[in-house]
Copies of this chain bind each other. A is one copy, B any other.
Amino acid sequence: MRGADDDRARFVVVGHAGRDLVLEVGGLPEAGGSTEVRRRIERLGGKGASIAVGLRQLAPEAEVVLVAALGDDDAGARAVEEARALGVGTARLARRGTTALLVDVVDDGERRLLEDVTDASLVTVADVEVAAGDIRAADLLVLQLQQPVGALLAAARIAADAGVPVLLDGAVEGDARDALVGMAAAVRADAAEAELLLGRPIESRLDAEAAAASLLERGPRLVALAAEDGDVVAWHGGARWFPHGDAPVVDPTGAGDAFVAGIAVGLVRGDALEEVGGLGAAAATAAVQRLGGHPELAGVEPERGERAARPQGGER
């Protein structure tokens, strides 16, 4: 937990980092054909990096340490420089192999991802152990779950032993799932991930609310789940529904990462749990209105949301 000599909020994010290449096109070419790229953005990417950047934007005073692996190449060097320039702590960024490349082809607000997630870009147990001191000193550990289970469990255990709350983003399958959810203070998942966590499809708002109630019974004090047309945020004794707004979606990439950053900041600030979800929803709304998944979240105000249709688990 934070030291007496420094009252800045401290976040550690364990997750993926790489290079994003965003290509905006006006329609995909047929096989054998070609199309013009209207806009091209190249920059630091990966869900871990995106969450870390969002945290710094929403909480400019906070210390944010990113635990991730970049390549021992030019692209990796540029990504480290960019993370530093955005205020993200880079001391726990491993450097090895080839930097991952995430190509995001955006066509009329819909995206297709072509992902070259190199083996070297996955976080290892050793990467986590190097960051153990940072995790123990954190106010919140964010675990982006698209990483090897061994590294995730190692990080969660270090946090649990030190009393540091853990926020999970995404899903894993198998035994690790129950262990991680059991150690989590908060869980955020999109519809496909929630299906993995619960073993049943999440289609409607009512499905999401029922799923959130069921996850709350496993230990977390906050659960945020996405359905097709909005997000439910539930806690013991209450829940709110944040419908997706009518604003046009430029690029859905990064909405989930921004949502995670929002609830992470709200939790550490000690906001009412109702407000925590509102900040996540507002950050996600801001993210989808920009091309390329990098948020611009400074100054975002919490959304209000609606009372959930279904009662959630009892007060704790």
A18-35 vs B, CB cutoff 8 Å, 1 = contact: the mask equals 000101010011111111
What chain B residues lie within 8 Å of A111 (beta carbons)?
A: 31-32
What chain B residues lie within 8 Å of A37 (beta carbons)?
A: 101, 103, 114-116
Is A303 in contact with chain B by the CB < 8 A criterion? no
Is A195 in contact with chain B by the CB < 8 A criterion? no
What chain B residues lie within 8 Å of A114 (beta carbons)?
A: 23, 25, 29, 34-35, 37, 105
Is A74 in contact with chain B by the CB < 8 A criterion? yes
B113 close to A29 (CB less than 8 A): yes
Oligomer: number of copies? 2
Give min CB distance, A140 to chain B, whole Å. 28
Give min CB distance, A117 to chain B, whole Å. 7
Q: Which of A101, A114, A117: most chain B CB closer than 10 A?
A: A114
B112 close to A29 (CB less than 8 A): yes
In the complex, the chain B residue whose C-beta lies closest to that of A31 is B110
In the complex, the chain B residue whose C-beta lies closest to that of A35 is B114
In the complex, the chain B residue whose C-beta lies closest to that of A29 is B112
B74 close to A35 (CB less than 8 A): no
Cross-chain contact of A35 among B31, B113, B252 (Cβ < 8 A): B113
A31-43 vs B, CB cutoff 8 Å, 1 = contact: the mask equals 1111111001000
- The count of residues in chain A whose C-beta lies closer than 8 Å to any C-beta of chain B is 29
A112 close to B40 (CB less than 8 A): no
Give min CB distance, A40 to chain B, whole Å. 5
6 inter-chain pairs at a CB distance below 8 angstroms, sorted by A residue, are A23-B103, A34-B112, A34-B115, A35-B112, A35-B114, A103-B103
Cross-chain contact of A115 among B36, B113, B117 (Cβ < 8 A): B36
Is A107 in contact with chain B by the CB < 8 A criterion? yes
Cross-chain contact of A40 among B33, B78, B105, B116 (Cβ < 8 A): B116
What chain B residues lie within 8 Å of A28 (beta carbons)?
A: 28, 112
Question: In the complex, what distance in Å separates the CA atom of A116 from the CA atom of B25?
Answer: 10
What chain B residues lie within 8 Å of A115 (beta carbons)?
A: 34-37
Cross-chain contact of A112 among B31, B36, B101, B113 (Cβ < 8 A): B31
| List of 4 A-B pairs having minimum Cβ-Cβ separation, nearest first | A34-B113, A37-B116, A31-B110, A29-B112
A36 close to B117 (CB less than 8 A): yes
What chain B residues lie within 8 Å of A116 (beta carbons)?
A: 23, 36-37, 40
What chain B residues lie within 8 Å of A110 (beta carbons)?
A: 31-32
Question: In the complex, what distance in Å separates the CA atom of A141 from the CA atom of B228?
Answer: 58
